[in-house]
């Protein structure tokens, strides 16, 4: 009997200690808050033009619930996820007409088990100003974890301008005379005198 009582007390003490440790443990890091992708390549785009928009989604998830009644306790209080202003860098720009995230003040809410996830979306365009590969980012100011959430952006600008040089000769006047002389020589090949005159002009 004494042995059974001792075992029961030991078991109860162990269970109670475990429960206290769980209750006292800090909430897990908010690792589930994220953009729907870590990076995006916009591909090739003519310099001076704007790409078609690409949509990005910011996803918030509650990491811990009180049971009962099922309210979100992480992030606290009440599952409110604050991200601050959301901006871009480089030749990438958020389309204001599609920016649901900033329209909501950079805040998402996951209050309970009945609404454990919240999402906002926005669209980004790429407008290179010169040729070559360029990089930028789409980023929140902060997050429930304390650090910004960032998408690495990349795109390639393509030069479309045509050359303006005349290609041969040292100036348009000289090039024009040469072309004119050649035309005269071809059209009036029967006249030897004029051919000689054309040759002298070439010199």
Q: Give pLDDT, residue 178.
A: 46
Residue ranges covered by each domain of the chain: 26-158, 176-202
The CATH superfamily label for domain 26-158 reads Immunoglobulins (2.60.40.10)
Question: Which pLDDT value is given to residue 162?
Answer: 43
Q: What is the pLDDT of residues 48-107, one digit of tens each?
A: 999 999 999 999 999 888 987 889 988 888 899 999 999 999 999 999 999 999 999 999
CA atoms within 13 A on the CB side of 63: 17
Whole-Å CA distances, 190 to 153, 177, 180, 182, 200: 68, 21, 17, 14, 17
Residuewise pLDDT in 10s, the chain (203 residues): 554 455 445 544 453 344 333 333 334 444 579 999 999 999 999 999 999 999 999 999 998 889 878 899 888 888 999 999 999 999 999 999 999 999 999 999 999 998 999 999 999 999 999 999 999 999 999 998 889 999 999 999 999 864 333 333 333 333 344 445 454 444 444 455 555 554 555 54
What pLDDT shows up at residue 32? 78
Residue 68: its pLDDT value, please? Answer: 78
* Cβ neighbours, 10 Å, residue 110: 24
42, 51 in Cβ contact below 8 A? yes
């Amino acid at each position: 009997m004494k042995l059974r009582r001792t075992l029961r007390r030991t078991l109860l003490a162990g269970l109670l200690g475990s429960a206290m440790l769980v209750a006292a443990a800090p909430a897990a890091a908010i690792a589930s808050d994220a953009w729907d992708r870590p990076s995006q390549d916009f591909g090739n785009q003519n310099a001076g033009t704007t790409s078609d928009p690409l949509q990005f989604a910011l996803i918030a998830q509650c990491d811990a619930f009180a049971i009962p009644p099922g309210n979100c306790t992480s992030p606290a209080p009440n599952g409110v996820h604050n991200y601050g202003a959301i901006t871009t860098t480089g030749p990438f720009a958020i389309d204001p007409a599609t920016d649901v995230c900033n329209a909501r003040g950079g805040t998402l809410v996951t209050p309970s088990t009945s609404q454990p996830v919240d999402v906002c979306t926005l669209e980004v365009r790429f407008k290179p100003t010169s040729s070559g590969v360029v990089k930028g980012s789409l980023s929140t100011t902060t997050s429930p974890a304390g650090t910004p959430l960032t998408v690495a952006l990349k795109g390639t600008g393509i030069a479309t301008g045509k050359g303006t040089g005349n290609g041969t000769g040292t100036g348009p006047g000289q090039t024009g005379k040469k072309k004119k002389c050649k035309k005269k020589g071809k059209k009036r090949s029967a006249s030897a005198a004029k051919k000689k005159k054309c040759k002298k002009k070439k010199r």
